[in-house]
Amino acid sequence: MNAAKRLEIFRRLHEDNPNPRTELAYSTPFELLIAVILSAQATDVGVNKATARLFPVANTPEAIHALGIEGLSEYIKTIGLYNSKAKNVIETCRILVEKHGGQVPDNREDLEALPGVGRKTANVVLNTAFRQPTMAVDTHIFRVSNRTGIAPGKNVLEVEKKLLRFVPKDYLLDAHHWLILHGRYVCTARKPRCGACRIEDLCEYKAKTSDD
């Protein structure tokens, strides 16, 4: 795919949704961090239901740490893998209090040192909370990048690096959200909704299927 096509793809995505946002509910960088940790192998809807119960009671590192693993588990037990997530969140809260003054770090090294925080989670926090030009490649972004031809790659890191290189600079800060939403609601896994897609004429998947 050439640069002109990529530019037009993101121009249209921006036109349709000028201010894209994560579908996770949060009001502070800390709430976002916790929500993203909880979202591993879980839906945003499920996480939002749990945090709607949790955050009014405890939404700071100090308050959640005070709940302890068992106390926190009561709020998040509707989410998959809640036992291991509770342990990670409690330990993360301890580190934030002891090493970072209760604040969420705005750099990758410190974020990835937190339990339950890998590269993808760190990228989400850096991009969404701190507006840094990072690209958190989840299953949706990986699929859309490969299927459309925007940034094909064999693994998530390869796709991430290509997106950072190929996405037009003016659109890089919001590209993560546009691609996730596109994959979630239009370019779906089993049956992409090509007829309802704003970038259908620019997509290499459509071109390939038309040629077959």
Topology (CATH) of 3-20+134-211: Endonuclease Iii, domain 2 (1.10.1670)
Q: Are 93 and 64 in contact (CB under 8 A)?
A: yes
What is the structure's pLDDT at 211? 45
Mean pLDDT for 59-78 is 96
Domain boundaries along the sequence of the chain:
3-20+134-211, 29-128
Q: Are 173 and 127 in contact (CB under 8 A)?
A: yes
Active-site residue, 110 included: no
What is the structure's pLDDT at 206? 62
Model confidence pLDDT, tens digit, residues 144-199: 999 999 999 999 999 999 999 999 999 999 999 999 999 999 999 999 999 999 99
pLDDT tier, 100 (very low <50, low <70, confident <90, very high otherwise) = very high
CATH architecture designation of domain 29-128: Orthogonal Bundle (1.10)
Take residue 112 and report the two structure tokens written for it. 């990835």
Q: Are 142 and 156 in contact (CB under 8 A)?
A: yes
Mean pLDDT for 54-69 is 97
What is the structure's pLDDT at 65? 98
Q: Would the pLDDT of 212 be above 50?
A: no
Catalytic site residue from 138, 154, 206, 208? 138
Q: Would the pLDDT of 51 be above 80?
A: yes
Exposure class string for 57-79: b at 16+ Cβ within 10 A, else e: ebbbbeebbebeeeebbebbeeb
Identical fold between 3-20+134-211 and 29-128:
no
More confident residue, 210 or 47: 47
Model confidence pLDDT, tens digit, residues 104-140: 999 999 999 999 999 999 999 999 999 999 999 999 9
Residue 177 is given by DSSP the state H
- For 108, other C-beta atoms within 10 Å of its C-beta total 16
The pTM (predicted TM-score) of the whole model is 0.89
Residue that is written with structure tokens 């890089």 in the block: 172
Catalytic site residue from 49, 110, 120, 208? 120
Active-site residue, 120 included: yes
Q: Would the pLDDT of 209 be above 60?
A: no
